[in-house]
């Protein structure tokens, strides 16, 4: 049985980028932990990462991403691309089952084991089992509310938790300022 962490949401809105994650970790069909921390600040707080998928795999990827950032400290997209290339071509890494969301002051990136590094057009990115629900809620909130980015992330994740059984309401949100 695999251990899985689920939902991460990132919203870039009104000069702030916020990333939030729920706290649920499941083993098979059982909740193993309700208060896991799935987002991390790295590079002296200038980069926020979040993961969904197999927990151990996600931590292995986070360590490798931090190493790539040390190689390319001023270029988050390059570090993400180098990780994605290594992830796709390395025999051991290729088997990892996780996804990463990465943000800094200028970029919002999805990094996958298929070699993908994708920047969403609207600055809203969701990963994990509740990711699509959270993205839909966040898009509606951005268009039809006066909420801040962190408030949108929290509210959208709460909405996702009401739909997706693998997402809970133990939510942690981190934020960074950014410029257009």
Q: Which residues are catalytic?
A: 6
| Spatial contact of 133 and 6, defined as CB atoms under 8 Å apart | no
Tokens of 58: 């996600």
Cα separation, 37 vs 150, in Å, equals: 16
Cα separation, 173 vs 151, in Å, equals: 9
Tokens of 143: 């268009």
**DSSP per position, 69-137:** HHHSTT-HHHHHHHHHHHHHH-TTGGG--EEEEEE-SS-EEEE-TTS-EE--TTSEEEESTTHHHHHHH
Cα–Cα distance list, 89 to 85, 95, 131, 144, 164 (Å):
6, 10, 26, 43, 33
Q: Which helix (H) or strand (E) holds 46?
A: none
């Amino acid at each position: 049985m695999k251990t899985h962490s689920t939902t991460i949401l990132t919203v870039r809105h009104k000069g702030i980028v916020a990333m939030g994650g729920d706290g649920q970790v499941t083993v098979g069909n059982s909740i193993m932990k309700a208060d896991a921390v799935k987002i991390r600040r790295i590079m002296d707080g200038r980069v926020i990462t979040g993961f969904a998928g197999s927990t151990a795999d996600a931590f292995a990827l986070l360590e490798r991403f931090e190493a790539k950032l040390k190689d390319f400290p001023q270029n988050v997209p390059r570090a993400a691309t180098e990780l994605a290339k290594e992830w796709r071509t390395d025999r051991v890494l290729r088997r990892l089952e996780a996804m990463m969301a990465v943000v800094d002051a200028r970029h919002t990136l999805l990094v996958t084991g298929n070699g993908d590094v994708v920047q969403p057009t609207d600055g809203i990115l969701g990963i994990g089992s509740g990711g699509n629900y959270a993205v839909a809620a966040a898009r509606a909130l951005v268009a039809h509310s006066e909420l801040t980015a962190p408030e949108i992330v929290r509210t959208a994740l709460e909405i996702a938790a009401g739909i997706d059984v693998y997402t809970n309401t133990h939510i942690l949100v981190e934020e960074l300022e950014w410029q257009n």
